Structure formats: structure tokens, C-alpha cells
Amino acid sequence: MNKLIITVATVAAISLAPAMANKKATETTPDEDLKAYQDYFLKRFNNEVPLNDFQNGVYAVDKVSRENWEAIEEFPPYEPFIDEGEEMWNTPFANGKSYKDCFPDGPALRGKYPYWDADRKMVMTLPLALNECREANGEKPLKYKKGPIASLLAYIGYESRGQVTNVTVPEGDADALAAYDAGKNFYFARRGQLNFSCAHCHFESSGMNVRSDVLSPALGHTTGWPVYRSKWGELGTLHRRFDGCNRQVRAKAFPAQGEEYRNLEYFLTHMSNGIEYNGPSARK
């Protein structure tokens, strides 16, 4: 029934996820988590999916949906938005300055985020940094889930393709570790009326079906943003998807770019260290 390229490995691998969650957050280091997390998924898919291929989500593990995706990628629906984003990047603000003044290294920025800002004691993400640039120059901040921010992120994502995920939790920084752990606990905590954690679907049931949808593995979840979802008929950001996923299990969604989702993004992106960024991308 499952038209998977890969049949999903069971038993030994599955025990890892609860093990990660049940341990007190301070018992395993981010490095240890990273190894356990990635080994889990490599084994789950029988070592037939190379690490970097997880950047394509469900399409790395399901043949049927991959066929649809390949047809759609022949003329990717996100392309016009890359152009829009480029225009935004190159258009000066009312005060004459532009994004280039905030980010002199240019639009290939994706690989720098998210990171722990030790001075401000918070996780800094790319959309947040872009809006802080706007506000510092007298411009209104953009909404975080869709619209112009997504187009700008599409341009930045496109220019950054090939950069490798490398999120670090600075050693000895207890606050950074606390933020990382908050993200990790969020990921493994049950929530909502359906009482699922992110891990229930994206670890234990990854590669398996929810009706006719194949659940994508958590590994690689952060590389392809922003995403043109056929369902949305437009681009959306990572935090838009967090919001949607929380609502789908009938849980309260948190504000986009609020502390909860930024910490979640910090943890989640760290877990994809070593995988190339490939935004923007298309999904159903």
C-alpha cells in the first residue's frame, strides 16, 4: 500500500526518540543529540537516503509524491517570488538606505541564521533580523507568515543555496543551552486535543501514511524555506508552518517569531547541521 522507495526500519531506531525526550534536557549535549537524531533517520530509511537528500523532505522517501513534485519543479511556482524579493532587496527605503546597509555581506545570508545572540540573550532568526533592519530605517515591519517577507526570504534563500546548515550552541553559555533545550522540549512535548508531539508524526511515523499523506521526516525540515505550498497557492515561512501544524493537532499556535517558535527553530535547525540549504522550495 505504501509506495515508498524505502521501507521503513522499525524497532531499534524507534526507541531513540522517546529516549531523547525522556532524558532530562541537561543530560545530553547538543552534539550528542545531533548524532542520535541523524543516526535515527539514516537508519529508519535503511541507509538508502544520503544525509543531504533529506533536504527534499517527503520527496526523498516517497516515490508517488516525488513524481508530482518533479513535474511541478520543471517550472517552479516560487520563481516569480524570487524576482519580487530581488526587487525588494534592491529598492532603497524612504531614507535612502537599503537592506545592503544592514547586511553588507549581501543577500546570501541564510547560512548565518538562526544564531544565539549572547548580548541580547535570545535566538536571532533571519526574518527577525530583516524586520529589525526595516524598523531601524523607519520602515514598517513586515508580517511574518506570508506576503512580502516570504518573497524577500525567497530571494535570500535562492542566493544562499548550497550553504551548509551549521547552527552552534556556544559552549559554556547556559542561556543558549536553555533556549536550545526549550526548543527541544517543545518538539517532544505532547500538545493539543489530538495530544501529539511533533515527534509522533515526524520521528516515529515519518515515512508512514496519515490517510494519503506521507509524513516527512524531521531531518531536513528547515532547509527549504520559504516554501510554495500548492495548498497555500503562495509562499509561506517556517513559522507559518509551525502555526499550521500546531493548529492541526488542535493546539494553540504561538506567535510567529515569538520566543517559543524561535527556540524551536534553533533546536530544529541545529538537527539538520550538515545539510545544504535549498530554499525556496515547493511542496504540496
Residues forming the active site: 245
Nearer to other proteins, 209 or 273 (CB): 209
Binding track, positions 145-184, relative to other proteins; x by CB under 8 A: ----------------------------------------
CA angle 279, 129, 270 (to 5 degrees): 55
Q: Is 65 in the site for other proteins (CB under 8 A)?
A: yes
Taking CB under 8 A as the criterion, which residues in 3-62 touch other proteins?
3
Nearer to other proteins, 159 or 181 (CB): 159
Task: Point out which span in 7-15, 16-24, 29-37, 229-237 binds other proteins (CB under 8 A).
Answer: 229-237
What is the C-alpha separation between 66 and 60, in angstroms, rounded?
7
Q: Is 212 in the site for other proteins (CB under 8 A)?
A: yes
Nearer to other proteins, 86 or 181 (CB): 86
Task: Point out which span in 121-129, 187-195, 225-233, 261-269 binds other proteins (CB under 8 A).
Answer: 225-233
What is the C-alpha separation between 41 and 55, in angstroms, rounded?
13
Q: Which of 67, 135, 171, 175 binds other proteins (CB under 8 A)?
A: 67
Q: Which of 173, 248, 259, 260 binds other proteins (CB under 8 A)?
A: 248
- Please report how close the Cβ of residue 284 comes to other proteins at its closest, in angstroms: 4
- Please report how close the Cβ of residue 150 comes to other proteins at its closest, in angstroms: 14
Q: Which of 37, 40, 69, 267 binds other proteins (CB under 8 A)?
A: 69
Q: Is 205 in the site for other proteins (CB under 8 A)?
A: no
Q: Is 90 in the site for other proteins (CB under 8 A)?
A: no
- Please report how close the Cβ of residue 146 comes to other proteins at its closest, in angstroms: 14
Question: Cβ atoms within 10 A of the Cβ of 189, count?
Answer: 13
219 HSE (CA, 13 A, CB side): 30
Q: Is 201 in the site for other proteins (CB under 8 A)?
A: yes
Q: Is 71 in the site for other proteins (CB under 8 A)?
A: yes
Nearer to other proteins, 8 or 102 (CB): 8
SS (H, E, C) the chain: CCCECCCCCCCCCCCHHHHHHHCCHHHCCHHHHHHHHHHHHHHHCCCCCCHHHHHHHHHHCEHHHHHHHHHHHCCCCCHHHHHHHHHHHHCCCCCCCCHHHHCCCCCCCHHHCCEEECCCCEEECHHHHHHHHHHHCCCCCCCCCCCHHHHHHHHHHHHCCCCECCCCCCCCCHHHHHHHHHHHHHHHCCECCCCECHHHHHHHCCCCEECCEECCCCCCCCCCCCEEECCCCEEECHHHHHHHHHHHCCCCCCCCCCHHHHHHHHHHHHCCCCCECCCCEEEC
Length of the chain: 284
Q: Is 233 in the site for other proteins (CB under 8 A)?
A: yes
Residues that bind other proteins (CB under 8 A): 3, 64-65, 67-69, 71-72, 74-75, 77, 79-80, 83-84, 87, 201, 209-213, 215, 230-231, 233-234, 244-245, 247-248, 284
